Chain A
C-alpha cells in the first residue's frame, strides 16, 4: 500500500533549464533530472561527463536558473566526476505579523488616551 509516490515527471521549467544549459566547452555534457525536493520546494539536476568546469560555466548556469525564479546551489563531486545542481524555490519573506499587531494595539491605546483627554477638557 502506497504511503507516498515520488513524482518523476520533469516540469516544463526543468526541461527548459536542461535545454538552455548546453555548453560548447563541454560537448559530452549530459544533464539529468534527478527528482523533486520534499514538499515541491524545487528539484535537483545532475550533470555528467563534464570535462571543463570554470567560473564562466557556473555563472552561466546560475543566470539560467535565476532567470526562472529559482535559487541555484551548485556542488561539484570531483570523486565521481559529476556536478549536482539544486534548484530551490525562493521562499517569500514572511510578513512580520507580530510587529503589525503591536502597531495596531499602540494606535488603539493612543486613540483611547486622546478620547479620555478630550472628555476631561
Chain B
C-alpha cells in the first residue's frame, strides 16, 4: 500500500494541480482515474488536509482510500461513479474519516461490468427510538427512511432529529461505513422527501434533510436517465 500527501491551496480560484508518480500496479487509465478523483475532491472546500492511500496489490481490483476528505454531498459521490464504469463500491466511513473507492483494474481482455450491490433488509424501528419531535403527518416517511438505514448495518448508531420550519435535519453518527450506492437508492426511494444528503467527514456525521409533508416540493433528487443516441 502506498500513501501520498496531497497539498492543495484552499481557494476557489486556484485550479487543483495534482501530479502523481505512475503507480507500479496500475494501468495508465486507472492512474488517470485516481488523479481525476483527487482533482474532483480537491476542488471542494476543506480538502487541504486530505491524504491518499492506494492499494493495488491484487491482480483484478484496486482501492483508493482518501483519509480526512472534505464535506461531500451525494452529488459529489455520484460524480465519482460517472468517472469510471468499473467501480465496484464506494464506502464512506464518517466515523473513521475515510472514503474508500474499490474498482476493477483495467484489463484489455475483460469487459466486466460493475455488479449491483446486494439489497439490504428493512428493519422495524425499535420501540426505544424516540420520534416525539416528528409530526404525525411526517412519521410514516421518517420511519421508512430510518428503517432502510437500520437495515443497512447490523450495528447500532446514534441518531438525532432537529425539527425546522420546512424540514427535519436527521444527523447520524457512530455508524459503520456507508455504502454510497445504497444511500443513493434510499434517496431515490424517498426522493419526494429527502432534499439534501451530506457526508460530513470533519464532523463525523451523515446528514439528511427531510421535507415536512405540509411544505411544497421545490426540487426532487432524481437519478440521471440513460439516453440512447441513434
* Residue tally, chain A, CB below 8 Å to B: 17
Interface residues of chain A, those whose CB is within 8 Å of chain B, are: 1-8, 34-39, 44, 79, 86
Bits for B118-134, please: 1 = Cβ < 8 Å to A, else 0: 00000100101111110
- Residues in B with CB closer than 8 Å to A37 are 154-156
Q: Given A1-B133, A4-B126, A79-B55, do A36 and B155 touch, yes or no (CB 8 Å)? A: yes
The stretch of B2-10, B75-83, B109-117, B157-165 in contact with A is B157-165
- Residues in B with CB closer than 8 Å to A36 are 155-156
Identify the closest chain B residue to A41 (Cβ). Answer: B154
Q: Given A35-B174, A79-B55, A79-B63, do A3 and B155 touch, yes or no (CB 8 Å)? A: no
Interfacial residues of chain B within 163-191, with CB under 8 A of chain A in the complex: 163, 174, 176
A35 touches B156 (CB 8 A): yes
Q: Is B54 in the interface zone, CB < 8 Å from A?
A: no
Bound Cα distance from A8 to B95, whole angstroms: 13
Q: Given A1-B163, A4-B159, do A38 and B154 touch, yes or no (CB 8 Å)? A: yes
- Residues in B with CB closer than 8 Å to A4 are 126, 128-130, 156-159
**Residue from B55, B158, B162 in contact with A6 in the complex, judged by beta carbons closer than 8 Å:** B158
Interface residues of chain B, those whose CB is within 8 Å of chain A, are: 55, 58, 63, 102, 123, 126, 128-133, 146, 150, 154-163, 174, 176
**Residue from A3, A8, A35 in contact with B129 in the complex, judged by beta carbons closer than 8 Å:** A3
- Residues in B with CB closer than 8 Å to A86 are 154
Identify the closest chain A residue to B172 (Cβ). Answer: A3
CB distance from A2 to the nearest CB of B (A): 5
Q: Given A38-B150, A79-B55, A79-B63, do A7 and B156 touch, yes or no (CB 8 Å)? A: yes
**Residue from B131, B146, B150, B174 in contact with A8 in the complex, judged by beta carbons closer than 8 Å:** B174
Bound Cα distance from A5 to B132, whole angstroms: 15
A3 touches B126 (CB 8 A): no
Bound Cα distance from A38 to B155, whole angstroms: 6
Bound Cα distance from A86 to B153, whole angstroms: 12
Bound Cα distance from A50 to B9, whole angstroms: 38
CB distance from A79 to the nearest CB of B (A): 6
- Residues in A with CB closer than 8 Å to B63 are 79
B126 touches A6 (CB 8 A): no
- Residues in A with CB closer than 8 Å to B156 are 4, 6-7, 35-39
- Residues in A with CB closer than 8 Å to B160 are 1-3
Contacts A44-B154, A79-B102 known; 11 new A-B pairs at CB < 8 A: A1-B130, A1-B132, A1-B161, A1-B163, A2-B158, A3-B129, A6-B155, A8-B174, A37-B154, A37-B155, A79-B58
